[in-house]
């Protein structure tokens, strides 16, 4: 038996050995750490998940739109002689385009981190790779519906988002002090407003939604969804109950229903979809000072008019070892294809 003379650290005042840890627990007890990691952050992409996919083959992806001439008088007299026909493609055919945007995430994991036995993680590098891929999906959603970015092919290329294509008063309502941009070239414009616009935003009204639905209908489209931030989603349900005499009711399963999932307008039914990305803070310079665009817009659209066009699909770039770390990247190159901007609309300037 080994004998230690004198008073040693970890002994009591009477030199008796301490048989429990400083926290009062037996030193032999194993830690109780669950073998999983929870992630509370939302990972849904409501807009990009609702639209289609297409293939891009160049950094400037283009497509064409066309429309019929307005209804009018086409009557002819009996025996009318043939007149020279217009051999041009017509005044209504247009060519639109958007630049592809490179999105990427870098990661580096030390050799030690990959070697140690971690709770909830079999391989730290693989875990971080999956996490970065999910983050990229959310970043694309942000760029498409919440960045208010216009298409740009200079410097770091940027794809134009929803607002840069859907910006014409033909299908858009501007609330408060916000007004239509001076240019409405699809892909190159966004909403504008005065210097005091951030203080003069307006509340969501059902009349605005009805007006946009009418505009889309008159242009030949038929929207099927209205996408709102979480705050505006609640405002919408309150509006329906207040203005339409809708009462909260108990359904057949005994559940109390107080939300509105489908809005039946005069020009078609709209599925009401919340998008948490649209409620995030994002300062945008509309030319007269920065505006926080959280809870700023309602997007009214038909998914058939949109695609995510991919030049390079999401992939891992294996950079390899850098010293004692494994280094890699997640990279993709995509753009937003708005097949016909007049088939969808928006309300801007909401609060």
Q: What pLDDT does residue 105 have?
A: 93
Q: Where are the alpha helices (DSSP H) in 1-84?
A: 46-50
Helix, strand, or coil here: 165? helix
The answer to the question of residue 144 being in a domain is yes
Range of the domain at 280: 46-65+95-348
Q: What pLDDT does residue 176 have?
A: 82
The answer to the question of residue 29 being in a domain is no
Q: What pLDDT does residue 169 have?
A: 84
Mean pLDDT by 10 residues, the chain (351 residues): 47 54 60 59 87 96 89 89 74 89 93 83 86 92 94 94 90 83 72 61 93 95 96 91 60 62 91 96 81 94 96 90 89 95 93 89
Q: What pLDDT does residue 15 have?
A: 59
The answer to the question of residue 84 being in a domain is no
The answer to the question of residue 23 being in a domain is no
Q: What pLDDT does residue 6 have?
A: 46
CB-count exposure of residue 205 (10 Å: 0-12, 13-18, 19+)? middle
Record the pTM.
Answer: 0.81
- Please answer whether residues 346 and 225 qualify as being in contact, where contact means their C-beta atoms are separated by less than 8 angstroms: no
Q: What pLDDT does residue 78 have?
A: 92
CB-count exposure of residue 209 (10 Å: 0-12, 13-18, 19+)? buried
CA distance 170 to 218: 9
The pair phi, psi for residue 142, each rounded to 5°, is: -60, -45
Q: What pLDDT does residue 22 have?
A: 55
The answer to the question of residue 85 being in a domain is no
* Count of structural domains within the chain: 1
- Please answer whether residues 343 and 221 qualify as being in contact, where contact means their C-beta atoms are separated by less than 8 angstroms: yes
Domain with residue 306: its CATH number is 3.90.1690
Q: Are strands 268-274 and 225-228 parallel, antiparallel or unpaired?
A: parallel
The answer to the question of residue 24 being in a domain is no
The answer to the question of residue 313 being in a domain is yes
Any idea what DSSP says for residue 33?
-
CA distance 206 to 212: 10
Q: What pLDDT does residue 321 have?
A: 85
Q: What pLDDT does residue 104 have?
A: 95
The answer to the question of residue 4 being in a domain is no
Q: What pLDDT does residue 13 have?
A: 53
Question: How far lies 276's CA from each of 97, 138, 283, 320, in Å?
Answer: 28, 10, 16, 36
């Amino acid at each position: 038996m080994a004998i230690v003379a004198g008073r040693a650290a970890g002994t009591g005042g009477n030199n008796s050995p301490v048989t429990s840890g400083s926290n009062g627990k037996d030193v032999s007890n194993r830690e109780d750490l669950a073998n999983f990691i929870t992630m509370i952050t939302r990972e849904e992409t409501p807009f990009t998940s609702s639209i289609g996919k297409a293939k891009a083959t160049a950094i400037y992806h283009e497509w064409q739109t066309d429309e019929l001439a307005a209804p009018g008088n086409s009557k002819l007299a009996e025996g009318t002689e043939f007149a020279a026909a217009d051999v041009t493609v017509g005044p209504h055919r247009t060519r639109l385009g958007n630049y592809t945007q490179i999105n990427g995430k870098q990661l580096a994991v030390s050799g030690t981190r990959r070697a140690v036995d971690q709770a909830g993680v079999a391989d730290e590098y693989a875990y971080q790779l999956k996490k970065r891929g999910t983050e990229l999906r959310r970043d694309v959603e942000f760029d498409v519906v919440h960045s208010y970015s216009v298409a740009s092919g200079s410097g770091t290329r940027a794809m134009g988002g929803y607002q840069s294509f859907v910006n014409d008063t033909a299908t858009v309502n501007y609330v408060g002090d916000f007004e239509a941009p001076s240019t409405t070239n699809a892909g190159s414009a966004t909403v504008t407003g005065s210097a005091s616009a951030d203080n003069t935003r307006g509340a969501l009204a059902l009349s605005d939604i009805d007006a946009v639905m009418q505009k889309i209908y008159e242009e030949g489209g038929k929207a099927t969804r209205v996408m709102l931030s979480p705050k505006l989603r609640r405002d919408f349900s309150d509006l329906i109950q207040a203005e339409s005499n809708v009462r909260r009711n108990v359904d057949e399963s005994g559940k109390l229903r107080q939300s509105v999932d489908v809005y039946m307008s005069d020009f078609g039914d709209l599925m009401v979809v919340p998008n948490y990305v649209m409620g995030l803070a994002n300062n945008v310079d509309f030319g007269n000072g920065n505006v926080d665009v959280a809870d700023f817009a309602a997007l009214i659209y038909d998914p058939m008019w949109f695609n995510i066009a991919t030049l390079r699909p999401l992939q891992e770039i294996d950079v390899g070892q850098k010293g004692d770390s494994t280094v890699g990247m997640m990279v993709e190159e995509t753009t937003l294809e708005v097949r016909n901007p007049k088939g969808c609309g928006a309300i801007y300037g909401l609060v």
